[in-house]
Chain A
């Protein structure tokens, strides 16, 4: 007779936005360090996007506590084996990296460019952490559906990557920057992430077996299969394959990936809590 924690919409949004923030940041840092000069737009979009998102994450986490000042109690301790404790610290640390990288992404000198790239190389780890630790946090609870596959972190990381990259491509599209080479590359990286996410999801379901029933059958199943697997992953991949020369279709595909990322967090949290 387990109890669920009552982590509802605020936490769904936090998991979703935290995934995008982490994914956008590490994509930006990879583009910044290993891409060409023309991928600069990708890097800037990713860095700058991650900042408001991680700020929103902080607000959501604090608001969910009910009494905002109690957030400070988290800062009394640092428990390395506790995803919630270390996560609270990393949200703050990631915020700092996100801020510095965003500011430096407007630099015009080669020296600050080099500095930004180095900072990005360190920040990349915090980005990966932010995108995945929420899954590890669920894995180390007593709920069989959340914990038995031990792949929730890997799944959330893949989803953070696909949604972060989708968000970057959407920004490039909306700001009219989709003509550059960076757009094609970020779309390509996004496709890799989506294919990987589908693979992780399949292994996740196979490992869970009967513990996956909250997801695969029952009230939330149509949303899971239709909203995440169908509309959120397979349809965008097909759209990209068929119409990757048509930018509007590619942008639509990015939008669907974002919707799928939200559905993933929603069904994972709410299917055993409602």
Chain B
């Protein structure tokens, strides 16, 4: 496997221009959508089959009573342990040599299990093609030496693309700088390969708790439940089977006490 590629989104640099969201739409030929009223400048509320990059506009109350803008360009995390990939029954969802997670549109059969298995609610179902879609890290671009369209378009380098190990080191330094500047809650989200989901290949620098950005504090791999629930189902089967056995066993006397 080649060196893992990653995107580092430093939300402290985001100015909410949405160049990334537009670049993503243009390059990936994602169609127009009916806008939604979200109460802020944000549109849409969440990822859709036509929105793979989404700038979140979050208003956080300050102690002074004012609101502070928290801007965050959100995207598929390309998890090292990906719930969508494990859920896919056709093998349509696969990991590339760069560590990213893609959905092969020719193989996807539209079962939508991946949609319900993404801990971040990223994967979306496209009603017109009948397949699941999401960010590909611009698979075509990165295989031709170009960065993803969003990273390329970002005017403030809030979105950086490169080798994961390089970016993590850079991100850690940036957190220290921000903390020294007084941003007490500055933290990395998904940078730690030993942390949740084996680390995210699109990781973030946040200025507040993950929950503020509508991110789960401790996302878990859905498939962790398969073994436990299967064992409990076997237990259930044993009890039900035993009940039926007791009811049906032939006592040889033809006694009917039902």
Contacts and interface: CB of A to CB of B under 8 A. Distances in A.
Interface of A: 1-7, 26-27, 30-31, 34-36, 38-39, 42, 64-67, 70-71, 73-74, 76-77, 79, 81-85, 87-88, 124, 128, 132-133, 135-137, 139-143, 146-147, 150-158, 161, 165, 181, 183-189, 192-193, 196, 200, 244
A181 B254 CA distance: 8
A1 B51 CA distance: 15
A76 B116 contact: no
Interface stretch (B9-17, B87-95, B158-166): B87-95
B36 interface: no
A157 B244 contact: no
B84 to A, nearest CB: 9
Is chain A's interface secondary structure helix, strand, loop, or mixed overall? helix
Given A30-B245, A30-B248, A3 B46 contact: yes
Interface residues of B, number: 60
Contacts of A38: 254
Interface in B184-243: 214, 222-226, 228-230, 232-237, 239-241, 243
B121 A153 contact: no
Interface string B108-120: 1111110111111
B227 to A, nearest CB: 8
B207 to A, nearest CB: 19
A150 B248 contact: no
B258 interface: yes
A137 B110 contact: no
Given A139-B226, A141-B113, A154 B90 contact: no
Contacts, number: 210
Contacts of A83: 226
B110 A189 contact: no
23 contacts: A3-B47, A4-B116, A6-B112, A42-B248, A65-B110, A70-B130, A73-B109, A76-B107, A79-B91, A85-B89, A88-B89, A128-B234, A136-B233, A137-B113, A140-B222, A140-B224, A140-B229, A141-B222, A142-B121, A143-B116, A147-B222, A193-B244, A244-B258
A69 to B, nearest CB: 9
A184 B240 contact: no
A191 B120 CA distance: 42
Nearest to A183: B258
A150 B247 contact: no
Nearest first, the 10 closest Cβ-Cβ pairs linking A and B are A184-B258, A192-B243, A153-B233, A154-B236, A70-B109, A36-B250, A189-B247, A85-B89, A5-B116, A5-B112
